[in-house]
């Protein structure tokens, strides 16, 4: 508690201190950058100084982050509202050490499943299958969809498509133009009960039957619920199971990543796991000051809980990472969007921030106006590679990098009223009009950002980046005293949707519903095509 207070006091004392003033220390960039392997995380363009950083590290120590991290990797049941271990890290564990859950080593089964996935992927890649349709939602969609898009240059397998929305438009648009005889459908659902996924899976099966395909050989399932996959009619040889200690939004490392493995091959998928494992190893071993996930989390705590900035923008200057903000949105908001602490008492402070963003440079021409001149401060998390995959288009990549760095520079430096006046003067304005126009051209600056740089977006690097953010979410969750691994907040809407379905279908009356919901249903039914 004392450390929280100390940090709040520091924030008040800092007041309007320009971030730029911190650069009077010639070592600022070096001492506020963390490097692990080829990757560097620069948080020098924030208003965190060495004293603040020491307090933030003390906060993590007081919260017991190191012990809880070890407990997570060890397989302790840290998801205690569901009585589960949290072991997505075991899926990418590349050493021989056992990982114990309830007295049994989970590694042999993980290795066995990975081998079965590799054999199946090779078989599909060598077959006549031209297209793979992954049907899933949330963590059973966003991870593989994001990673398949990110690793397009490594893609040498069949085309991959992703269907998530229960809106029939999604599956109709996806199946249109596909050949049912050469399409593999993967039903990805941890629970195998999710209404969107099961509805889409049944529609896909009917389509396949109607168009001459064979669901018996052209359907695979990824799930923890093997009884339900069998009831759906999927042969056990085409079912890839995992355990309940893999959370949906953390599941891309195992069977849920099958479409990625089919796209880039088992070798590429292994490199993806290697990158994540390297980040795990770093997270477990590095001292807080040198620990990338830890410092990324502490910067997040500083901006959100101490400075009160309610959102943060994820801004990859990498077109192939355009789904990464969506992926991080689920990862962070489903994990840390909680109102009570582990013991059930209300959180005394705001919990996870709103996470959003888009790939640069596109975002610059859409929402950066507000980031630069709006009244709210939005900490920005930039990321950019030293190299693209198109050597013949290196000039594009140089422009991309220049834009990324220009944005963080502009956010920090801003443009003063004096500078704005000078610009207007040079344009020939004077008097009241000069004053009025100059105000519109002021950038207050002093807006914080961080930048993650890496060599090239290959499978290994993507694994590192995702694991980095997973651990960041974990550290923030521990400091906030919340359970990052349940998601009860999605339940109520699901229950109400189930109860509304017969009302919408017209087989039950809207009696008992609030008048807003009842009249909306009335409108929608009255306007329905006969
Ligand atoms: O894989 P499933 O069981 O279909 O669940 C899909 C998604 O639904 C959620 O449970 C939330 O609705 C996510 O956590 C999960 O990723």
CA-nearest of 485, 48, 487 to 301 is 48
Span 2-12+32-63+286-413+447-486: which CATH code? Answer: 3.40.50.10490
Instruction: Please state the rounded mean pLDDT for residues 479-498.
Output: 96
Report pLDDT for 117: 98
**Residue 243: active-site member:** no
Instruction: Quick: pLDDT tens for 114-166.
Output: 999 999 999 999 999 999 999 999 999 999 999 999 999 999 999 999 999 99
174 close to ligand 1 (CB < 6 Angstrom): no
Tell me the CA–centroid distance for residue 423 and ligand 1, in Å. Answer: 53
* CB of 362 closer than 8 Å to CB of 350: no
Confidence of residue 486 (pLDDT cuts 50, 70, 90): very high
Instruction: Quick: pLDDT tens for 168-185.
Output: 999 999 999 999 999 999
Instruction: Quick: pLDDT tens for 187-231.
Output: 999 999 999 999 999 999 999 999 999 999 999 999 999 999 999
Tell me the CA–centroid distance for residue 191 and ligand 1, in Å. Answer: 8
Nearest ligand 1 atom to the CA of 490 is 12
158 close to ligand 1 (CB < 6 Angstrom): no
CA-nearest of 193, 123, 190 to 158 is 123
Report pLDDT for 140: 98
ipTM of the complex, rounded to two decimals: 0.98
Tell me the CA–centroid distance for residue 233 and ligand 1, in Å. Answer: 21
140 close to ligand 1 (CB < 6 Angstrom): yes
CA-nearest of 253, 246, 247 to 270 is 253
**Residue 495: active-site member:** no
Instruction: Quick: pLDDT tens for 316-339.
Output: 999 999 999 999 999 999 999 999
User: Does the structure show a pLDDT above 80 at 505?
Assistant: yes
Report pLDDT for 96: 86
- Give 203's DSSP letter: H
Q: What fold, for 90-270?
A: Rossmann fold (3.40.50)
In angstroms, the CA 236 to CA 220 distance is 9
* CB of 44 closer than 8 Å to CB of 452: no
* Pairing mode of beta strands 131-135, 39-42: unpaired
Give me the residue spans of the domains in the chain. 2-12+32-63+286-413+447-486, 90-270, 415-440, 489-526
Tell me the CA–centroid distance for residue 223 and ligand 1, in Å. Answer: 11
- The single residue of 334, 381, 470, 476 carrying the catalytic annotation is 334
* CB of 46 closer than 8 Å to CB of 456: no
88 close to ligand 1 (CB < 6 Angstrom): no
SS3 content of the chain, % helix, strand, coil (to 5): 55, 10, 30
Query: Mean pLDDT over all residues of the chain?
Result: 97
Give the contacts of 110 (CB within 8 A, at least 6 positions apart): 90, 91, 93, 254
**Residue 422: active-site member:** no
CA-nearest of 89, 86, 88, 107 to 98 is 107
In angstroms, the CA 505 to CA 508 distance is 8
195 close to ligand 1 (CB < 6 Angstrom): no
Instruction: Please state the rounded mean pLDDT for residues 228-238.
Output: 97
Instruction: Please state the rounded mean pLDDT for residues 483-512.
Output: 95
Report pLDDT for 530: 80
In angstroms, the CA 144 to CA 159 distance is 13
- Give 306's DSSP letter: I
In angstroms, the CA 472 to CA 452 distance is 14
Q: Measuring from atom 11 of ligand 1, which residue has the nearest CA?
A: 490
194 close to ligand 1 (CB < 6 Angstrom): yes
Report pLDDT for 400: 98
- Asked whether the domain spanning 90-270 has the same topology as the one spanning 2-12+32-63+286-413+447-486, the reply is yes
Instruction: Please state the rounded mean pLDDT for residues 252-262.
Output: 98
- Rounded to the nearest 10°, the torsion over CA 278, 279, 283, 289 is 110
Instruction: Please state the rounded mean pLDDT for residues 359-375.
Output: 97
Share of the chain above pLDDT 90, in %: 99
Distances (CA, A) of 179 to 71, 110, 173, 459: 48, 33, 13, 29
Q: Which residue has the tokens 């049907």?
A: 135
Distances (CA, A) of 200 to 166, 167, 257, 258: 7, 9, 19, 18
Q: Which residue has the tokens 């994820």?
A: 314
Share of the chain above pLDDT 70, in %: 100
- pTM of this prediction? 0.97
Instruction: Please state the rounded mean pLDDT for residues 469-479.
Output: 98
190 close to ligand 1 (CB < 6 Angstrom): yes
Radius of gyration of the chain (CA): 25
User: Does the structure show a pLDDT above 90 at 1?
Assistant: no
């Amino acid at each position: 508690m004392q450390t929280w207070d100390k940090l709040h006091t520091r924030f008040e004392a800092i007041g309007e201190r320009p971030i730029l003033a911190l650069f009077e220390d010639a070592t600022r960039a070096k001492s506020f950058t963390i490097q692990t392997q080829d990757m560097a995380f620069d948080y020098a363009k924030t208003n965190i100084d060495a004293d603040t950083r020491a307090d933030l590290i003390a906060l993590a120590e007081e919260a017991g982050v190191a012990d809880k991290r070890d407990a997570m990797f060890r397989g302790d049941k840290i998801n205690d509202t569901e009585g589960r271990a949290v072991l997505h890290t075991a899926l990418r564990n590349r050493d021989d050490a056992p990982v114990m859950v309830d007295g049994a080593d989970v590694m042999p089964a993980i290795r066995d499943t990975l081998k079965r996935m590799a054999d199946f992927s090779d078989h599909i890649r060598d077959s006549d299958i031209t297209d793979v349709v992954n049907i899933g939602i949330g963590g059973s969609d966003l991870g593989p969809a994001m990673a398949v898009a990110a690793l397009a240059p490594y893609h040498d397998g069949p085309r991959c498509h992703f269907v998530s929305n229960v809106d029939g438009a999604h599956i109709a648009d996806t199946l249109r133009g596909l050949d049912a005889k050469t399409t593999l459908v993967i039903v990805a659902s941890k629970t195998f009960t999710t209404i969107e996924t099961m509805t889409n899976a049944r529609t896909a099966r009917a389509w396949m039957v109607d168009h001459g395909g064979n669901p018996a050989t052209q359907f695979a399932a990824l799930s923890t619920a093997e009884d339900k996959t069998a009831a759906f009619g999927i042969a056990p040889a085409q079912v890839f199971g995992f355990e309940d200690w893999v959370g949906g939004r953390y599941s891309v490392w195992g069977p849920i990543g099958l479409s990625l493995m089919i796209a880039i091959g088992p070798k590429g998928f292994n490199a993806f796991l290697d990158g994540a494992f390297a980040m795990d190893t770093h997270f477990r071993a590095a001292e807080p000051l040198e620990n990338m996930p830890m410092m990324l989390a502490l910067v997040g705590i500083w901006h959100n809980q101490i400075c009160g900035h309610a959102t943060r923008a994820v801004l990859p200057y990498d077109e192939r990472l355009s789904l990464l903000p969506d992926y991080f949105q689920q990862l962070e908001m489903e994990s840390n969007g909680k109102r009570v602490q582990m013991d059930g008492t209300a959180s005394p402070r705001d919990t996870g921030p709103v996470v959003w963003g888009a790939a640069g440079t596109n975002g610059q021409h859409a929402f950066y106006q507000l980031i630069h001149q709006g009244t709210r401060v939005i900490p920005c998390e930039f990321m950019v590679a030293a190299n693209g995959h198109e050597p013949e288009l290196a000039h594009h990549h140089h422009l991309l990098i220049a834009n990324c760095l220009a944005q963080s520079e502009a956010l920090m430096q801003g443009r003063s009223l004096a500078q704005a006046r000078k610009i207007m003067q040079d344009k020939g304005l004077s008097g009241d009009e000069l004053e009025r126009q100059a105000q519109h051209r002021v950038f207050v600056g002093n807006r914080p950002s961080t930048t993650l740089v890496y060599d090239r977006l290959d499978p290994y690097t993507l694994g590192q980046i995702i694991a980095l953010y997973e651990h960041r979410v974990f550290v923030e969750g521990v400091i906030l005293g919340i359970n990052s691994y349940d998601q009860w907040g999605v339940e109520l809407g699901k229950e109400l949707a189930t109860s509304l379905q017969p009302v919408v279908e017209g087989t039950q009356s809207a009696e008992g519903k609030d008048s807003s919901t009842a009249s909306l249903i009335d409108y929608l039914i009255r306007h329905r095509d006969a």
